[in-house]
């Protein structure tokens, strides 16, 4: 049952070019997995969550927008806003933040190419950000991680303490005023970032990391397709 007072806006990033998918998928967001576009899995998860009432979709172009509109549950969200994606991920995020409702309390920023996110995890991340300002879905590494510095024909290796190594995933959730101000600073300083947590790292604000209950990979390269298909089949069977 949904909460009587949703407090968060979800920004779904769907405007990427997907160049690393080669010729296999011209638009990975719309690539069909078990009969549904990749993005539809995320849309359905956010629709089933208790915390999210408003949706901002950052799209690439009008044909893509029309395709996405065909599977949007328009009666679920009180507000659906469209924003044009930019050249880089951070440009698209800023477009989404600029389009979000001004009275928004919490914003969740999610890569539309991660179709395995669940309503339970969305609710946990949103509520944690509401209580503690910033929260992110993440996975603690089990691998041995090494820093490799080029040297001649090889590398100088340094083993890192894997107990402190986490892979960041999405959604990443923030108090809206905090991430909006952080992005304004990033833009003013001409900085380049690869994820949204990077925007607040210099502020020394504690981030609550929430380990996902299941794998949450991003569809990036052709070899990712079979893995994502397997995971989704396993989760829905």
Q: Which domains are delineated in the chain?
A: 8-138+166-236 (3.90.550.10)
- C-alpha distances out from residue 1 to 8, 40, 120, 229, Å: 16, 21, 12, 29
> Which tokens belong to 158?
């340094």
E strand or H helix that includes residue 108? strand 106-111
pTM: 0.92
Please report, to the nearest 10 degrees, the dihedral formed by the alpha carbons of residues 176, 181, 186, 190 taken in order.
130
Give the pairing type, strands 146-151 and 154-159. Answer: antiparallel
**In a structure prediction context, what are the per-residue pLDDT tens digits for the chain, which is 237 residues long?**
344 467 899 999 998 655 555 555 578 899 999 999 999 999 999 999 999 999 999 999 999 999 999 999 978 887 899 999 999 999 999 999 999 998 889 999 999 999 999 999 999 999 999 999 999 999 999 899 999 999 888 898 999 999 999 999 999 999 999 999 999 999 999 999 999 999 998 888 999 999 988 899 999 888 899 999 999 987 655
């Amino acid at each position: 049952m949904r909460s009587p007072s949703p407090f968060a806006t979800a920004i779904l990033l769907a405007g990427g070019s997907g160049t690393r998918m080669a010729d296999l998928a011209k638009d990975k967001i719309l690539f069909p997995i078990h009969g549904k576009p990749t993005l539809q899995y995320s849309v359905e998860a956010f629709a089933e969550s208790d915390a999210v009432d408003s949706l901002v979709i950052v799209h690439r172009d009008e044909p893509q927008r029309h395709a996405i509109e065909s599977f949007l549950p328009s009666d679920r969200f009180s507000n659906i806003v469209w924003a044009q994606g930019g050249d880089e991920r951070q440009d698209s995020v800023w477009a989404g933040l600029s389009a979000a409702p001004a009275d928004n309390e919490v914003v969740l920023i999610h890569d539309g190419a991660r179709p395995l996110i669940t309503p339970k995890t969305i609710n946990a991340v949103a509520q944690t950000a509401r209580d503690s300002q910033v929260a992110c879905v993440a996975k603690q590494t089990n691998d041995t991680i090494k820093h490799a510095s080029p040297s001649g024909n090889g590398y100088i290796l340094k083993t890192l303490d894997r107990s402190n190594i986490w892979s960041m995933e999405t959604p990443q959730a923030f108090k809206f005023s905090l991430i909006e101000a952080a992005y304004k600073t990033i833009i003013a300083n001409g900085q380049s970032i690869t994820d949204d947590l990077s925007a607040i790292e210099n502020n020394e604000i504690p981030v609550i990391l929430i380990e996902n209950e299941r794998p949450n990979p991003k569809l990036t390269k052709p070899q990712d397709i079979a893995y994502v298909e397997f995971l989704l089949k396993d989760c829905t069977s």
